[in-house]
């Protein structure tokens, strides 16, 4: 949320941390697919979900708009989330050779992306509540896609070729 709404441009930045509980919970659920990957011995995927969860909590739940650290945590979250998403698609694509698995992976990410874009458009119009709703749905869609990917993958080796 690096771009501020008009109301917040005139407010003084604060160092006080206030917890946005719905955003906190929606980011915390990234631990579910991450813990499944950990249990399966897939440490890379588990670390990826833990990183996304941490950066999302910092950016969305603790240091959101109005905080002195909002821009920094938002940039961190975007870098971590983009890197993790790229890595997840790459690994998911290589480890899931059946077209149905690939179709579900891309469909889940696309659905989540739709909510992310809707939320960004709402924020640009100053509709913070609508932005938050769409961003929470974005988290849920990605978590469900990751959960499906962790639980219902084909029985193949979990290491990348080459």
- Domain locations in the chain as residue ranges: 19-151
Of 150 and 12, the structure prediction assigns the larger pLDDT to 150
- pLDDT mean over 115-137: 93
- pLDDT class for 104, splitting at 50, 70, 90? confident
Average pLDDT, the chain: 81
Mean pLDDT of 81-105: 79
CB-side exposure of 1: number of CA atoms within 13 Å? 34
**Looking at the predicted structure, is the pLDDT value of residue 2 above 60?**
no
Alpha helices in the chain (DSSP H): 6-9, 21-28, 31-39, 43-56, 70-95, 99-124, 128-151
Between CA 30 and CA 56 the distance in angstroms is: 9
**Burial environment of residue 159 by CB neighbours within 10 A (0 to 12, 13 to 18, 19 or more):** exposed
In tens, the pLDDT along 15-60 reads 656 788 999 999 999 999 999 988 988 888 889 999 999 999 988 8
- pLDDT confidence of 12, banded at 50, 70, 90? low
Whether this model's pTM surpasses 0.85: no
Instruction: List the one residue out of 71, 61, 58, 54 whose CA is nearest residue 4.
Output: 71
Residue 103 confidence class, pLDDT cut points 50, 70, 90: confident
Cα-based torsion angle of the residue sequence 50, 52, 55, 57 in order, rounded to the nearest 10 degrees: -80
| pLDDT on residue 159 | 52
């Amino acid at each position: 949320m690096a771009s501020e709404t008009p109301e917040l441009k005139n407010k003084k930045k604060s160092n006080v941390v206030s917890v946005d509980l719905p955003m906190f919970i929606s980011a915390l659920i990234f631990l579910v697919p991450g813990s499944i990957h950990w249990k399966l011995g897939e440490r890379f995927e588990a670390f990826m979900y833990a990183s996304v969860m941490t950066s999302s909590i910092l950016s969305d739940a603790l240091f959101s708009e109005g905080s002195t650290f909002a821009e920094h945590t938002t940039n961190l979250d975007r870098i971590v989330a983009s890197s993790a998403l790229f890595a997840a698609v790459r690994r998911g694509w290589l480890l899931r050779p059946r077209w149905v698995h690939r179709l579900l992976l891309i469909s889940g990410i696309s659905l989540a992306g739709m909510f992310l874009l809707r939320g960004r458009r709402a924020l640009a119009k100053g509709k913070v509540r609508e932005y938050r709703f769409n961003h929470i749905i974005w988290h849920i869609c990605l978590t469900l896609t990751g959960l499906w990917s962790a639980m219902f993958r084909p029985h193949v080796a979990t290491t990348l070729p080459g």
